[in-house]
Chains A and B, each alone.
Chain A
Amino acid sequence: MGAKERIVFNSQKSSVILDYTSKPFFEIIRINCSIADKNWAPRLFDAQLLVKITGSNENDKLKSSIEDIISIGAQISPYHKQPVFDINRLFSFSNKPSESNDRSYSNWTLELTLLNLNFENNDNLTIEYMDTNYIQRRVEDWDKRIKDLFQTIKSWLDNERRFSLKVSKEQKMLEELMITFGVSEKKIETADICYDNKIILSIKPYGLWIIGGNGRIDLLSSKGNNILVDTAEIFCKPEWKLFFVNQTNKALPFNSETLFRLINP
């Protein structure tokens, strides 16, 4: 269900601070530990991860923190070199009970500190997480990819006098992960391709977080629906593939040729 962010702790780094300009939600998904013992004597791995979220206002007069600790432990041996811990815990900042809401805060920091773990040179511990900033970046990236796609389609249609692309009504985007991580809804553009000023194809973004792709756009016409899926890795240059709904096993690269196959009257 989408890639994650990563923080790597090692012998040089055992603490990290992340900044937020909106109330943070932070989910630790998994912790992977990689131990590179030379003599491989079995030993107990035992550590704690401290999660501290601090909210403050602009002049730092108001400040409040919450703390939580995750304990992780495993027996390290030649047969168990890389323990993996599925955490799946969501942390968020909560204001003091005396404060009616958290609007008084304008900045937040989240500090992750690894306690009681002495790393050897090549040891490391990777934390896979998702947070409000990451979800926000994904949403902005989706918005940009859609705008870029519309520009590209426009350039394909430029030489065809009777065809035109009209960027039209915006639609609301509010997906499940956005709700979970406190990211507010976003208006996303839709577009129509016209032939002699009559709409022949509607291009409507359907969703960003989909299984097997980095976003899906519906191409609606009087013949039905075909689907565009971005098959590139997250935050990489998009690779739009066109799926014909009645031939789900086949995907074609989306280019001017495949577009004209869809829209030629």
Chain B
Amino acid sequence: MSIVRHIEKQYFEIENQYAINEFNARVNGFSIKEAYWKKKRELNTHAYFLFLFTRLEDHIKTQSTQLIQKKQTDISHWKTRAVWDNIEEPEKLHFKKKLALLTEKGNTDYNTIADYYKLRNTIAHGSTITNITTVVNMISVFTNIKKYFKELKGK
């Protein structure tokens, strides 16, 4: 099983259990507990989103580095190769530049990943994760990230 599927399985197991707890609190009229479990679900979603996105970041870093090294090796004409040779430390390129090597800048995939990246930064650099109001629909996120693992290739 791939790492994404592992994370997906684990996320939904926890999400489902928290959802049951939220439902039970509602049935019993415990509104504070109901809000507590709702908040736990949100925190869990943000934590898993961050975890999942780091896997994608790593994939993009690996694939873009491979692409750059391949171009530096395979292109024989110096003039065509020069632009690739100028990238001395591929792993230090900005994330969006690495991404733009694997998918066209401005297309749907690029924009979606850029949106995820923005959200990842909000979560990663936020001093108080509880204040994050962004809604993350993990069903779409898992579907998209599985697709990106398949399609974003450097070779």
Minimum Cβ distance to chain B for residue A159 (Å): 25
Contacts of A199 on B, CB cut-off 8 Å? 26-27
Minimum Cβ distance to chain A for residue B99 (Å): 16
Known: A202-B23, A202-B26, A225-B15. A175 touches B135 (CB 8 A): yes
> Is the C-beta of B142 less than 8 angstroms from some C-beta in chain A?
yes
Please state if B133 and A174 are interface contacts (CB–CB under 8 Å). Answer: yes
From B8, B19, B27, A225 is in contact (CB under 8 Å) with B19
Please state if A224 and B16 are interface contacts (CB–CB under 8 Å). Answer: yes
The total of chain A residues at the interface (CB under 8 A) is 34
Contacts of A216 on B, CB cut-off 8 Å? 135, 137
Bound state CA distance, A249 and B16, in angstroms? Answer: 17
> Is the C-beta of A229 less than 8 angstroms from some C-beta in chain B?
yes
> Is the C-beta of B112 less than 8 angstroms from some C-beta in chain A?
yes
| Per-position binary interface string of chain A over residues 173-202, scored 1 when its CB falls under 8 Å from any chain B CB and 0 otherwise | 011100100000000000010000011001
Q: What's the dominant secondary structure at chain A's contact region?
A: strand
Bound state CA distance, A210 and B26, in angstroms? Answer: 25
**Across the two chains, which residue of chain B brings its CB closest to A200?**
B27
Please state if A222 and B112 are interface contacts (CB–CB under 8 Å). Answer: no
Contacts of B130 on A, CB cut-off 8 Å? none
Known: A245-B15, A249-B143. A224 touches B133 (CB 8 A): no
Please state if A227 and B139 are interface contacts (CB–CB under 8 Å). Answer: yes
Known: A211-B112, A220-B26, A222-B20. A176 touches B133 (CB 8 A): yes
Minimum Cβ distance to chain A for residue B154 (Å): 25
> Is the C-beta of A131 less than 8 angstroms from some C-beta in chain B?
no
| Per-position binary interface string of chain B over residues 7-26, scored 1 when its CB falls under 8 Å from any chain A CB and 0 otherwise | 01000100111011011101
> Is the C-beta of B141 less than 8 angstroms from some C-beta in chain A?
yes
> Is the C-beta of B86 less than 8 angstroms from some C-beta in chain A?
no
Please state if A213 and B142 are interface contacts (CB–CB under 8 Å). Answer: no
> Is the C-beta of B31 less than 8 angstroms from some C-beta in chain A?
yes
| Per-position binary interface string of chain B over residues 112-155, scored 1 when its CB falls under 8 Å from any chain A CB and 0 otherwise | 10010000000000000000011111011111100000000000
Bound state CA distance, A246 and B17, in angstroms? Answer: 12
Contacts of A169 on B, CB cut-off 8 Å? 31
Contacts of A206 on B, CB cut-off 8 Å? 135
Bound state CA distance, A225 and B139, in angstroms? Answer: 12
Minimum Cβ distance to chain B for residue A203 (Å): 11
Please state if A209 and B143 are interface contacts (CB–CB under 8 Å). Answer: no
Contacts of A198 on B, CB cut-off 8 Å? 27
> Is the C-beta of A243 less than 8 angstroms from some C-beta in chain B?
yes
Please state if B115 and A1 are interface contacts (CB–CB under 8 Å). Answer: yes
Contacts of A174 on B, CB cut-off 8 Å? 133
List CB contacts (< 8 Å) of A158-181 with chain B. Answer: 169, 174-176, 179
Bound state CA distance, A84 and B111, in angstroms? Answer: 15
> Is the C-beta of A212 less than 8 angstroms from some C-beta in chain B?
yes
Bound state CA distance, A199 and B141, in angstroms? Answer: 31
Contacts of A225 on B, CB cut-off 8 Å? 15-16, 19-20
| Per-position binary interface string of chain A over residues 224-261, scored 1 when its CB falls under 8 Å from any chain B CB and 0 otherwise | 11010100000000000001011011000000000000
Minimum Cβ distance to chain B for residue A53 (Å): 26
> Is the C-beta of A103 less than 8 angstroms from some C-beta in chain B?
no
Please state if B23 and A220 are interface contacts (CB–CB under 8 Å). Answer: yes
- Identify the 3 closest CB pairs spanning chains A and B, nearest first: A207-B135, A212-B140, A225-B19
Known contacts A212-B139, A216-B135, A249-B143, then 4 further A-B pairs from the complex at CB < 8 Å, ordered by chain A residue: A1-B115, A212-B140, A225-B15, A243-B139
